[in-house]
């Protein structure tokens, strides 16, 4: 009997182990994790399912969400599960992850890499623990801005003059879900998801479809459709080009513009503080003109020599910056990001009341694979560069008020929320009411 009991105990243990492994091998469902604070503490969600071919389950497939930045998920490029090991990649955003299922199959512990590598543990989401993906009170509508192009527009409500929020590259309007609620006591707050992102329409990623004035026209079309009377328009990061496009061409349609770490050279260009992409666009435009049959006259050649010389300086500076870093180097953006970046334009006249909040120098965290000396040099150069740009912006645009926040994150409305709200309210209070 004792021997039989031992056999039954061994069998029971093996069965439990097999059941545990089986649970780990059937990870269909949602998994959620929070990135470390130095990576903004963003919430990440991974949804795993089985693909089907002719009704038969095939390989694993996954979708990755950064729910604090955008509601749209990004399909994994690869997703493999071998034993207790899981690996996935999202090539467009240079994301990779390698982890191990826990014995009970309820968590995954591993390393998340996007430029830098950080430890990250996913927990299996249950009905009780699953994060809501859209929990803030707001209305959603879709507004046509061009043939076959509709934009997702959020309305958080509120009282007071209208205020429109534009997100940075890679985000949709939901990136402001929490911040918007801090504004609704004083303003009626809207948010626009740029074409190509989130739930908005996504035309092919070409410069024609995503150049700065095209994106600016999208914002103006939404303002018109909502019957907003000269709203204040707020933009983060790349949205600076949309702000400058609107302010330079149609200043009468807005009461003021607020740049949240967005007043880079694509928002205001000056020859003393140039930008390699803008200078590449100049050279490309001149080459295109030659290919289209432009007359090769002295003035054209002089302009092209100036542009080529400036681009050469940019590339030498870029080479020097890369020498301070260690591989892997910052990856390029996906095709949509490239279409937007190469659709930039040079804005120098923006006759609109402006507030520019600048992170200077930026808090880079561990974003760069650099030696301590190299990182110190990068931070020093960033401070020199952002100071020069802020000075040029303030001196070149008399209507601009520039506020510098030292060691702030690029997402200033998160890292320095109280500062951002204080400066925005003070600026808006100076604007005349129509």
pLDDT at position 24? 45
Beta carbons of 253 and 232 less than 8 angstroms apart: no
**3-class secondary structure, 153:** strand
Give the closest residue to 67 by CA, choosing from 99, 29, 41: 41
pTM above 0.95, yes or no: no
pLDDT score of 53: 54
Phi, psi of 79 (to 5 degrees): -150, 115
pLDDT along the chain (434 residues), means of 10: 43 39 65 83 89 62 88 89 92 89 92 87 90 82 96 96 96 94 97 95 96 98 98 98 98 98 94 83 92 91 92 89 76 87 93 97 70 79 91 93 94 95 98 85
Q: What pLDDT is recorded for position 58? A: 63
Identify whether the C-beta of residue 162 lies closer than 8 Å to the C-beta of residue 231: yes
Domain 139-274+310-429 has CATH 3.40.50.10860: no
The whole-angstrom separation of Cα 237 and Cα 412 is 10
Order across the sheet with 78-82: list the strands: 74-75, 56-66, 43-53, 29-34, 116-124, 107-114, 95-101, 85-90, 78-82
Q: Rounded to whole angstroms, how far apart are CA atoms 193 and 209?
A: 15
Burial of 296-324, coded b for 16+ CB within 10 Å and e otherwise, reads: eeeeeeeebeebeebbeebeeeeeebeeb
SS3 of residue 78 by DSSP = strand
CA distance 236 to 259: 6
What are the two backbone dihedrals, phi and then psi, of residue 407, each rounded to the nearest 5 degrees? 55, 35
**Distances 102 to 20, 30, 45, 418 between C-alpha atoms, Å:** 9, 16, 18, 40
Domain ranges of the chain: 24-124, 139-274+310-429
Residue 289 is predicted with a pLDDT of 93
Cα-based torsion angle of the residue sequence 283, 289, 295, 298 in order, rounded to the nearest 10 degrees: -10
Give the per-residue pLDDT at 2: 47
**CA 239, CA 377: separation in Å to the nearest integer?**
28
């Amino acid at each position: 009997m004792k021997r039989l009991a031992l056999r039954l105990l061994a069998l029971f243990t093996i069965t439990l182990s097999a059941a545990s492994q089986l649970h780990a091998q059937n990870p269909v469902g949602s998994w959620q994790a929070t990135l470390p604070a130095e990576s903004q503490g963003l919430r990440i969600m991974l949804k795993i399912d089985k693909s089907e071919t002719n009704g038969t389950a095939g390989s694993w497939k996954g979708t990755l969400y950064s729910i604090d930045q955008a509601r749209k998920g990004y399909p994994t490029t690869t997703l493999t599960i071998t034993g207790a090991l899981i690996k996935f990649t999202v090539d467009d955003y240079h994301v990779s992850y390698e982890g191990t299922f826990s014995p009970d199959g309820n968590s995954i512990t591993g390393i998340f890499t996007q430029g830098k590598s950080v430890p990250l543990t996913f927990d299996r989401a249950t009905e009780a623990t699953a994060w809501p993906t859209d929990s803030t009170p707001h209305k959603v509508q879709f507004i046509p801005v061009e043939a076959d192009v509709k934009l997702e527009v959020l309305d958080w409500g509120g009282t007071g003059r209208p205020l429109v929020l534009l997100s940075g590259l890679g985000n949709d309007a939901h990136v402001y879900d929490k911040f918007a609620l801090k504004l609704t006591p004083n303003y009626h707050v809207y948010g626009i998801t740029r074409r190509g992102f989130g739930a908005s329409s996504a035309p092919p990623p070409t410069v024609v479809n995503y150049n700065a004035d095209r994106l600016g026209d999208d914002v103006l079309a939404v303002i018109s459709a909502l019957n907003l009377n000269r709203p204040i328009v707020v933009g983060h990061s790349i949205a600076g080009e949309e702000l400058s496009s609107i302010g330079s061409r149609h200043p009468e349609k807005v009461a003021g513009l607020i740049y949240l770490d967005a007043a880079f050279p694509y928002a205001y260009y000056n020859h003393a503080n140039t930008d390699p992409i803008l200078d590449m666009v100049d050279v490309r435009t001149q080459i295109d003109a030659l290919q289209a049959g432009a007359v090769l006259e002295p003035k054209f050649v002089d302009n092209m020599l100036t542009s080529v010389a400036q681009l050469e300086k940019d590339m030498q500076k870029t080479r020097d910056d890369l020498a301070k870093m260690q591989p892997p180097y910052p990856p390029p953006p996906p095709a949509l990001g490239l279409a937007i970046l190469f659709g930039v334009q040079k804005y120098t006249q923006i006759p609109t009341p402006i507030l520019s909040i600048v992170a200077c120098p930026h808090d880079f965290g561990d974003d760069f694979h650099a030696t301590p000396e190299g990182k110190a040099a990068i931070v020093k150069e960033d401070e020199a560069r952002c100071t020069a740009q802020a000075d040029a912006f303030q001196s070149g645009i008399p209507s601009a008020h520039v506020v510098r926040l030292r060691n702030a994150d690029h997402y200033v409305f998160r890292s320095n929320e109280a500062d951002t709200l204080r400066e925005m309210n003070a600026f808006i209070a100076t604007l005349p009411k129509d």
